[in-house]
Structure 1
Amino acid sequence: MGWLLPRLLAALLAMLVGGVVGMLIGSFWHWPALGTLLGALAGGLLHTFVDAWRGRRLMHWLRGQQENPAPRDAGFWGEVGYRIERLVRLLERRVETEHTRLDQFLSAIEASPNGVMLLDANDQIEWCNSVAADHFGLDPQRDRRQRVTNLVRAPVFVAYLQDEEFDEAVSFPGPGSRGTISVLIRTYGEGMKLVLSQDITERERNDAMRRDFVANVSHEIRTPLTVLSGFIETMGNLPLTEVERRRVLELMSQQTLRMQTLVGDLLTLAQLEGSPRPAADRWVPVQRLFNQVHADAEALSAGRHAISFSGAEAVQIAGAEAELLSAIANLVNNAVRYTPSSGRVDVAWTMRGDGAGELEVRDSGIGIAREHLPRLTERFYRVDGSRSRDTGGTGLGLSIVKHVAQRHGGELEVRSEPGKGSSFKLIFPAARVRRGESAADAGRSAERVNAA
């Protein structure tokens, strides 16, 4: 009530001054009492008018945008204006702070790898980040305040939203069948909903590959085990001649070797996927790799093919020797297996103009149809399953080659046409290839040193 007394005193002072002035004027006309009354009334009215005018100025400022300072009047209205302006500025700062926090929060959600969409109680879109917009085929700005079921018409999503049973996520094809989207809804506030979406296309693909891998491994191992079991039962129940017994043992040995090869390839793949990349400071002579692979290829061919190795003199690769040997051996052995007798297998090393190295394995074999080329490096993928098993292949060789190439910073290129043979190229980056001293040069250097 501290503001009331000054205002009353100011009104009384205005009336008193008005009464004195009215009395002086009334005395001149010989009506002092009437003059005093009218003067006091005029003083009170003037004070009321000034006070109302100040109040009106403050009200006009309040009805506006409050961009300019409040009216700087003295007395009651000046104090009220000052205090209101201070509260307005404080509220503006708080609102600005909250807006900044909201923008930071929305920016953080925008950076999320998952989709986030906010729905009001009527399932209208309040906000969504760009990931959610991509998942649902929306426009983050244009589609605001639109009912989500008018824009996202996937029956699974619509039923999930309407049933209001959000214990588990649901999955459905994304717009344009570009993949599979998983959606989980959580409620908050008064009927509002938080829609979380995630692209699970890659996860489903990996799960399918894992299931196929397990099924293929089981099938590949079960087949020789079934054969071995049958032979063991035959040897135990039937009297066999020495020739028959040797034949059965030979077939059992082949199936055992097949399983050993399969398990070995699986272990190699597991090692490649679970170990760090080979160091770039361990240099392996390419010629040494060629010599080992050449001997194995000649043994596998048994003189049925013309096999040549060239271009590897004085060249070295930085990496793991065992992995490189496995990759080259797989390519050469495949070429020998799928090339008919009297065919050719040529293995050549070439230095590219940019310093990279290219190892090519070319054969004159049966070739591969174009539609099979993109899938050749998939595990257990076979162009001709029966032929692969007949030649001793496990379906993992090219997958191993691809992993080895990637671990050494390289790539695998395949070109083939049915009836015209195939070409497999391992391309290694320049950082992992260098020219070294050939064996002949090393021998001559040693002779010069001894002579000196």
Structure 2
Amino acid sequence: MSWLLPRLLVMLASLGLAMLAGHFAGFWLGSSELGTAVGAAAGVTLVVVIDTVRGARLLRWMRSDLALGAPRDAGFWAEVAYRSERAVRERDKAIANEQRKLAEFLQAIEASPNGVVLLDDHDQVSWCNAIAADHLGLDARRDLHQPITNLVRKPAFVAYLQSREWREPLMLAEPSGLSALQLVMRGYGERQTLLITQDVTERQRSDAMRRDFVANVSHEIRTPLTVLAGFVETMASLPLTGVERTRVLALMQQQTVRMQTLVADLLTLAQLEGSPRPAIDRWVSLSGLLERAAADGRTLSAGRHTITVLPVPALELAGQESELFSSVVNLVGNAVRYTPDGGQISVSWQARPDGGGEVLVRDNGIGIAREHLGRLTERFYRVDGSRSRDTGGTGLGLAIVKHVMQRHGGTLEIDSEPGKGSSFRLGLPVGRLRATAAAATLADDATSRVG
């Protein structure tokens, strides 16, 4: 209130001066009382005019865009202008701060791995992030203020939205099974809705694979157990001759070996998935690795096939020896199982243009139809289940090979044609190859002699 006393003093002084001037003017005109009244009226009029002009300037500023400063008058109007300008600046500052917070909040939602859609009280799109636009097929700008039910026309979604009962999430899956969305809705504000979308395709696929895996394991173990139980019951309840008993025991041993192989392969897969990647400072001889795998293949073949190892360069491979050997011997074993008697199987090494290389296992067996090639590395996938069981396969060999190659930064490539055999390639990157110490010494000696 510092403006009040000066304003009163100025008004009184102006009025007093005007009355005094009117008194003297009235004295000359013969009526001092009339002059005093006229002077007082003139003084009041002057004060009102000045206040009116100052008030008009302030109103003109308040009606403008307020970008310029308020009028710099004195007294009462100066105080009003100052306080008005400060209130406007504080309001602008508060609005800017809220806008900044809103922008940061929307940026945070934009960075969310889930889709977010804000719906108003008429179920129109107020805002959505890019993930939600991709999930629901929206345009984040063009579809603003459009009813969501006009944009997402799935009957299940429309019924879920209109029910206003959102205790459980809604699943939207494509008939092809290539994608699946989980939608969650929550109300907020005055009949506004928060819609959250999440792509659960991989989760559902993993769950399906896990269920299939458990079912397959149960089936694979149940079969030999059923056979063993039947044989045990037969031996316990029937009088068998020595020959019959020997035959039954042989079959029981065969089923026992099958279960042991299956459990061993399952443990190998679990170990591969749960252990860190192999180090690159442990080196394995390439020629020794291939010769050992070929020897195991010859044992399995029992002379029914010709298995050859073509000459390989003096190289070493970096990685886990047991895993690399398991990969090669699995491929050789598959070639033996699916190649008729008298067939040819070769194991070789080929260099790649990028400096890497590949182990190549080739046979002239029955081959595989093209539609099966993409699924051969799935667990328990068999082109012919009955034949695989007859040959002693567990359906896990190629899954093991794929995991080993992934852990070593390599690849598994399969090429086959029915009736013409198959080729399996284990590709290894250049970082996991080196010449053996003897080969490196010979190369250095040759270089020094040429120099």
Q: Are 1:272 and 1:404, in contact at CA under 8 Å, matched by a contact in 2?
A: yes
Q: Return the alpha-carbon distance in structure 2 between the equivalents of residues 335 and 5 of structure 1.
A: 109
Match of 2:68 in 1: 68
Change (3 A) 1:265 1:432: same
Q: Are 1:135 and 1:175, in contact at CA under 8 Å, matched by a contact in 2?
A: no
Amino acid at match of 1:66: L
Match of 2:139 in 1: 139
Q: Are 1:18 and 1:42, in contact at CA under 8 Å, matched by a contact in 2?
A: yes
Q: Which range moved further: 200-209 or 78-87?
A: 78-87
Match of 1:237 in 2: 237
Match of 1:449 in 2: none
Q: After superposition, what is the alpha-carbon deviation per residue over 1:249-285, rounded to whole angstroms, capped at 9, x for unaligned?
A: 1111111111111111000000000000001100011
Change (3 A) 1:175 1:122: farther
Q: Are 1:171 and 1:182, in contact at CA under 8 Å, matched by a contact in 2?
A: yes
TM-score, structure 2 length as denominator?
A: 0.93
Change (3 A) 1:309 1:425: same
Match of 2:107 in 1: 107
Match of 1:319 in 2: 319
CA displacement at 1:287 relative to structure 2: 1.5
Amino acid at match of 1:135: H
Q: Return the alpha-carbon distance in structure 2 between the equivalents of residues 423 and 292 of structure 1.
A: 19
Match of 1:37 in 2: 37
CA displacement at 1:291 relative to structure 2: 2.1
Match of 1:246 in 2: 246
CA displacement at 1:241 relative to structure 2: 2.0
Q: Are 2:316 and 2:435, in contact at CA under 8 Å, matched by a contact in 1?
A: yes
CA displacement at 1:157 relative to structure 2: 2.0
Match of 1:186 in 2: 186
Q: Return the alpha-carbon distance in structure 1 between the equivalents of residues 177 and 221 of structure 2.
A: 37
Helix, strand or coil for the counterpart of 1:347?
strand
Q: After superposition, what is the alpha-carbon deviation per residue over 1:157-205, rounded to whole angstroms, capped at 9, x for unaligned?
A: 2222222222221111369975111111222223222222111010000
Aligned ranges 1:3-402 → 2 under 5 Å? 3-173=3-173, 179-402=179-402
CA displacement at 1:93 relative to structure 2: 1.7
- Structure 1: give runs of 5+ residues left out of the alignment: 446-452
Q: Return the alpha-carbon distance in structure 1 between the equivalents of residues 107 and 83 of structure 2.
A: 36
User: Percent identity among equivalent residues?
Assistant: 60
TM-score, structure 1 length as denominator?
A: 0.92
- Structure 2: give runs of 5+ residues left out of the alignment: 446-451
Q: Which range moved further: 148-157 or 171-180?
A: 171-180
CA displacement at 1:5 relative to structure 2: 4.7
Change (3 A) 1:178 1:20: farther
CA displacement at 1:34 relative to structure 2: 3.1
Helix, strand or coil for the counterpart of 1:375?
coil
Q: Return the alpha-carbon distance in structure 2 between the equivalents of residues 428 and 225 of structure 1.
A: 40
RMSD: 2.2
Q: Which range moved further: 319-328 or 189-198?
A: 189-198
Q: Return the alpha-carbon distance in structure 2 between the equivalents of residues 352 and 122 of structure 1.
A: 63
Q: Are 1:19 and 1:39, in contact at CA under 8 Å, matched by a contact in 2?
A: yes
CA displacement at 1:131 relative to structure 2: 1.1
Amino acid at match of 1:10: V
